[in-house]
Amino acid sequence: MILIIDFGSQFNQLIARRVRECRVYCQIDPPDIGIDDIKALKPEGIILSGGPASIYEKNSPKIDKAIFDLGIPVLGICYGMQFMVNAFGGKVKSSKKREYGFSELRIKKQEDLFKKIPDKTVCWMSHGDSIMKLPRGFKITASTENTKIAAAVNTSKRLYGLQFHPEVEHTKKGKNMLRTFLFDICGCKRSWTMKSFARESIDNIRSTVKDRKVILGLSGGVDSSVTALLLHRAIGKKLTCIFVDNGLLRKNEGEKLKKTFKQNLDINIRYINAGKQFLTALSNVTDPEKKRKIIGGIFIKVFETEAKKIKKAEFLAQGTLYPDIIESQSAFGGPTAVIKSHHNVGGLPENMKLKLIEPLKYLFKDEVRLLGKELGLDEDLIWRQPFPGPGLAVRIIGDITKKRIAILQDADAVLMEEIKKSGYYRKLWQSFGVLLPLKSVGIMGDKRTYENILAVRAVTSKDAMTADWAQLPHALLRTIANRIINEVKGINRVVYDISSKPPSTIEWE
């Protein structure tokens, strides 16, 4: 395994993804991790991440320098390299000219991290401080026009430093450099597979749960579905899934989910139809944050009421993923800036005295899909596009009524059918309709109409942190618009959203 030390970089998640893509396990820990804990992990190598701090700042993050005496390779990236150089007595100073963006990297010799890398290649820089003087035993291995010491190595101590970011797509040969570090320098093996993960997870769940019971809140998304199947494989009927239908799902989705899990997979599932309760509480509520709070509050009440009926339940399972933890809690307490909070991170309601099980908390979304495939989960569930927790409530802008829900469900069903038929469903991160709080004039059957407007949203993304609007074929958009206007009563105009994230978000609310 590879240990990644979180010095505060927003690219930590990307470093971990790059390592996992090479089928090598890694985990992110804060710089205050003890040296004995590091030894217990037995890493083949350590990567020190970048970060926003200056090495000379009073509270800048630091790790025990004893890591450099473990005899294992250490790769310092950006701030991580500066920390390494400073630890050995080198000099780091604030640069007169900050370097940010693309730079031409000039490599002195094709060795160490730069095996089979061209003499000149493009790299991505993002730093305000620069290394002015290397400590004894280090040598320069690459430079840019603005940064003389863009890369360095201490071969005898197996220490490597890169001032640029090899983990980002902008560094053209960055993946090659990381692969060289993992396999040629650290001697890692490609042993991180979902088959091995499933086997180890099932053993861990069994040893943890024993003869006790587990409750899982099932949403129908790929994360909770894979969690349910993994737990079912481990403990069978000791698992009970609770599915709360809030009446804000896609058309017939609740019934489809019940059939998949109860009949096809033989998993215990309690289906709660609470649509009326949610709809009543949402009446005349238009503020998106109020919608979310109302839906979240009712869900907890309904879920807790049902959970109390399951006697001797001691555990609550959640489909929390690694990005949820990294974004919400700054990866194990490290200094990374919190990006956003997630509903399934941060523990349980205080009055629900259950222990938490999160078997997917070290996985990324693409790994969860691979795990689902390994466990034999239905392809439709594996590749199901993300769906918001509040459901269609945040895709109906303005007041939520039974009629408006039905209109959006019908339009969404047509949209999904055409997207899947076209072969674009798996190519897109998300595709959905948004019912706007506006009406427009139209002519249908020689009559004037004044009906709703539907906005179609389709984006491509790898992890939802950034997203681009999908350039769908005009013929497909024409078919979608024609069918929705002709088949869905209440809509007479369809528009297409061509906003990217940032500055827009993927969802409208």
How far is C-alpha 61 from the chain's CA centre? Answer: 25
One of 26, 78, 123, 241 is an active-site residue; which one? 78
Q: First-to-last CA distance in the chain? A: 40
170 is an active site residue:
no
Residue 415 · residue 455 · CB < 8 Å: no
3-state secondary structure 200-265: HHHHHHHHHHCCCEEEEECCCCHHHHHHHHHHHHHHHHHEEEEEEECCCCCCCHHHHHHHHHHHHC
What backbone phi and psi angles, to 5 degrees, belong to 103? -145, 150
Token look-up 């701090």 returns 53
One of 165, 306, 327, 509 is an active-site residue; which one? 165
For residues 176 and 318, what is the distance between their CA atoms, to the nearest angstrom? Answer: 36
Cα separation values, 12 from 7, 308, 468, Å: 9, 40, 22
- Name the pairing type of β-strands 468-469 and 430-444: unpaired
In 3D space, the residue among 316, 77, 325 whose CA is nearest the CA of residue 212 turns out to be 316
CA triplet 295, 297, 302: central angle to 5 degrees? 90
**E-strand spans in 155-202?**
159-162
Kindly tell me the sign of the dihedral angle through the C-alpha atoms of 210, 215, 220, 222: negative
In 3D space, the residue among 176, 144, 140 whose CA is nearest the CA of residue 161 turns out to be 140
Helix (H, G, I), strand (E, B) or coil at 75: strand
232 is an active site residue:
no
How far is C-alpha 351 from the chain's CA centre? Answer: 29
For residues 224 and 228, what is the distance between their CA atoms, to the nearest angstrom? Answer: 6
26 is an active site residue:
no
Q: Which two tokens stand for residue 276?
A: 């009326």
One of 99, 167, 367, 509 is an active-site residue; which one? 167
**What DSSP character marks residue 338?**
P
How far is C-alpha 126 from the chain's CA centre? Answer: 23
For residues 18 and 5, what is the distance between their CA atoms, to the nearest angstrom? Answer: 15
Residue 79 · residue 53 · CB < 8 Å: yes
Q: Residues with catalytic annotation?
A: 78, 165, 167
